[in-house]
Structure 1
Amino acid sequence: MSHTTKNKTRLLARVRRLKGQMEAIERSLENEAPCGEVLNLVASVRGAVNGLTVELIEDHIREHVSNPDSDDDADRAQGAAELIDVVRTYLK
């Protein structure tokens, strides 16, 4: 079973929140909201997309590459943990 299938409910909840945020941007533009307000909404969407991306990449690493919590190969486990940390930091 794929990690996206196992985490389907949580991932879909994130996507639905993103959809709501995008709709808020659309409403703001339709209502001619100040540009600063629109930019803040866009920044929120960017953060939410990055959060979703981090979750998907981390789950992919844990499922298909190495799970640092259970891998018997200490070097591989450490490498996977380091990669997860780098992805989290880069997409923060």
Structure 2
Amino acid sequence: MSHTIKHKTKLLARVRRLKGQIEAVERALETEAPCGEILNLTASIRGAVSGLTAELIEDHIREHISNPDRDEDGARAEAAAELIAIIRTYLK
């Protein structure tokens, strides 16, 4: 079973929150909200997309490459854990 199917409910909830954030930007533009408010809304969308991306990449590594919590090859487990940490930092 793919990790996206396994975590479908959680991932869909994140996507729905993103959808709501995008709709908030649309409403702000329609009501001619101040540009600072719109910039804050778009910054929150960027953070949410980065968080979703990081989660998907981490799950992909754990499912298809190496799960550092279960891999018996110590070097591979360590490398996978390091890659996950790098992804989390990069997409923060």
TM-score by length of 2: 1.00
How does 1:23-62 map onto structure 2 within 5 Å?
A: 23-62=23-62
Q: Can you give the 5+ residue segments of structure 1 that lack an aligned partner in the other structure?
A: none
Superposition misfits of 4+ residues, deviation over 2 angstroms: none
Letter in 1 for 2:21: Q
What is the CA–CA distance in structure 2 between the aligned matches of 1:55 and 1:90, rounded to whole Å? 12
Q: Which residue of 2 aligns with 1:69?
A: 69
Aligned residues: 92
Give, in angstroms, the shift of residue 18 of structure 1: 0.1
Q: Can you give the 5+ residue segments of structure 2 that lack an aligned partner in the other structure?
A: none
Give, in angstroms, the shift of residue 8 of structure 1: 0.1
State the Cα deviation string for residues 29-65 of structure 1 (Å, max 9, x = none): 0000000000000000000000000000000000000
What is the CA–CA distance in structure 2 between the aligned matches of 1:65 and 1:39, rounded to whole Å? 37
RMSD across aligned C-alpha pairs, in angstroms? 0.2
State the Cα deviation string for residues 2-34 of structure 1 (Å, max 9, x = none): 000000000000000000000000000000000
